[in-house]
């Protein structure tokens, strides 16, 4: 499926209080990640949700920051955040570095997600060039930040339905 074929999704109705989301972003490609963040913010604003934002140095640091945030929330004894949103971008270069970073980040996030079951939206662009990243962070319904926030909202709905949040 190409970006042009991506479905337009309705914004979900969240039961209960508006959710609080922690966005962990790797703004190495600031314009791209900023575009994805704005896509997510647009949706969150429409449902009255709030979002805290923290930056990490790069995509490689996303899993560790997620684990720290989950640990912080657990140690607080109350729900600090209802869900987590990760945004970043890795552009393929001339070396194997791209593959190592992408594999490590995706595996790290999947391990944490399946281990903890926290509501999570994962928006890591893994692209051949900046033009592809810019197309996926544009202000339209193809915005991958918007898609990732839709995922975390659906997970929050599920967690609330099952009494986990």
Catalytic residues: 97
Residue range 87-118, pLDDT digits in tens: 999 999 888 899 999 999 999 999 999 999 99
Give the containing element (helix H, strand E) for 67: helix 62-76
- Residue 89 is predicted with a pLDDT of 98
Q: What are the backbone dihedrals phi and psi of residue 124, each rounded to the nearest 5 degrees, phi first? A: -105, 110
Domains, the chain, ranges and CATH? Answer: 17-155 (3.40.50.960)
What integer is the mean pLDDT of 38-66?
97
Q: Extract the annotated binding site.
A: 28, 59-61, 89-91, 94-95, 122, 136
What integer is the mean pLDDT of 18-22?
97
More confident residue, 49 or 76: 49
What integer is the mean pLDDT of 16-33?
97
What integer is the mean pLDDT of 10-24?
93
Rounded distance, CA 154 to CA 47, Å? 13
Q: Extract the annotated binding site for 5-amino-6-(D-ribitylamino)uracil.
A: 28, 59-61, 89-91, 122
Whether 6 shows a pLDDT value over 80: the answer reads no
- The pTM of this model reads 0.93
Torsion over CA of 25, 113, 160 and 7, rounded to 10 degrees?
Answer: 70
Please, are residues 134 and 32 in contact by the beta-carbon 8 Å criterion? yes
What integer is the mean pLDDT of 45-52?
97
More confident residue, 13 or 48: 48
Q: What are the backbone dihedrals phi and psi of residue 43, each rounded to the nearest 5 degrees, phi first? A: -70, -45
Whether 1 shows a pLDDT value over 60: the answer reads no
Handedness of CA 60, 126, 46, 7 (dihedral sign): negative
Q: Extract the annotated binding site for (2S)-2-hydroxy-3-oxobutyl phosphate.
A: 94-95, 136
């Amino acid at each position: 499926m190409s970006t042009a074929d991506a479905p337009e999704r309705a914004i979900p109705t969240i039961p209960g209080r508006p959710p609080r989301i922690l966005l962990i972003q790797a703004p190495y490609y600031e314009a791209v990640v900023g575009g994805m963040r704005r896509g997510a913010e647009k949706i969150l604003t429409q449902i009255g949700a709030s979002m805290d934002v923290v930056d990490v140095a790069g995509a490689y640091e996303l899993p560790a920051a997620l684990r720290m945030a989950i640990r912080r929330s657990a140690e607080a004894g109350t729900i600090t955040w209802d869900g987590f949103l990760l945004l970043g971008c890795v552009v393929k270069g001339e070396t194997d570095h791209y593959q190592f970073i992408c594999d490590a980040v995706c595996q790290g996030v999947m391990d944490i997600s399946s281990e903890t079951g926290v509501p999570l939206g994962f928006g890591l662009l893994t692209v051949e060039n900046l033009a592809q990243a810019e197309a996926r962070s544009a202000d339209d319904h193809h915005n991958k930040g918007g898609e990732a926030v839709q995922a975390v909202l659906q997970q929050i709905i599920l967690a609330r339905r099952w009494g986990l949040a």
